[in-house]
Structure 1
Amino acid sequence: MARADQIVIPMRISIEQPVIGVLYSLQEKDDLPLDAKASREGEPLVFDFAVRVGPGPKFFGDQVRREGPVRRFVYIRIGTLAGDPASPWSRRMKIDIHDIDADLLDRAARDDGVIETTIIGTGKDGTPACGTLRPTGRRIAAR
């Protein structure tokens, strides 16, 4: 698909209730951590990035991963994978983006907003959440 057929949509992942002191980061295309940060007092961690969206919709970009012909997602790296060699955790969160409502994509493109996906960063056992996480919310937010 030609880039001319794609639009750039700003995205944001907000991790609420991250484990305090644990390093989290986006995963870059080359599997390196990007924009690593840790919560000092339980405040949310926010990661901004952009995706290109083509008809379908189909998602492209440095943070976009694929699984099969439809599924697209973004990884959040945790602990050693985020660049902290002393961490007891080596985990990743998988956040699906292929299921973002077309209306939300249209509104983000039209209103110059960012699509914010909110997830919970701590699992039921008190350790960093990992695996495929379901958003607790998705909305258009100001840039």
Structure 2
Amino acid sequence: MARTDQSIINLRIVIEQPVVGVLHSLQAKDDSPLDPKSSREGEALPFDFQIRVGPGPKFSGDQVRREGPERRFVYIRIGQLAGDPSSPWSRRMKIDIHDIAPDLLDLAATNGGVIETTVNGTGKDGTPTCATVRPTGRRIVER
């Protein structure tokens, strides 16, 4: 697929209610932590990045990972994986993007908005959420 057939889409993943003091980061293309940050008082942690979306839709970009022919997702690294060697946690959140509604993709491509996906950062046991994390919300926001 030629890059001219693709749109650049701005995404934001917001980790709501993260465990205080635990480092989170996007996973970079080379699997290293990218944009690490932690919450001091429970405030949300936003991560902004861009993806390319082509016909189909087909998703690609530095943060986009694949599983099978259709599943596309982004990793949020937690604790040791986010760059904190003293953390008791070494986890990742897997956040699907292949299921973003076509109308949101169209709005983001034509109006330049940001598709914001929110997820809960604390599991039922009080530790950082990990594995596949379902969004609690998805919407278009201004840049």
TM superposition score normalised by structure 2 = 0.99
1:56-107 deviation line (CA, Å, top 9, x unaligned): 0000000000000000000000000000000000000000000000000001
SS in 2 for 1:129: coil
In structure 1, the residue matched to 2:128 is 128
Alignment of 1:22-33 (within 5 A): 22-33=22-33
In 2, Cα distance between equivalents of 1:139 and 1:86: 35
- Match in the other structure for 1:55: 55
Cα deviation 1:16-62 (Å, max 9, x = unaligned): 00000000000011100000000000000000000000000000000
Percentage identity across paired residues of the two chains? 77
Aligned to 2:41: 41
Cα distance, 1:4 vs structure 2: 1.1
Aligned alpha-carbon RMSD (Å)? 0.4
In 2: Cα distance, 1:111 partner to 1:44 partner: 25
TM-score, normalisation: structure 1: 0.99
Structure 2 match to 1:99: 99
Which sits farther off after the overlay, 78-87 or 105-114? 105-114
Q: CA deviation at 1:112?
A: 1.2
Structure 1 distance, partners of 2:110, 2:63, is 23
AA matched with 2:47: F
Structure 2 equivalent of residue 76 of structure 1: 76
Counterpart residue type for residue 24 of structure 2 = Y
Aligned length: 143
CA distance in 1, matches of 2:142, 2:127: 31
Gaps of 5+ in 1: none
SS in 2 for 1:21: coil
Q: Residue 2 of structure 1: CA displacement?
A: 1.0
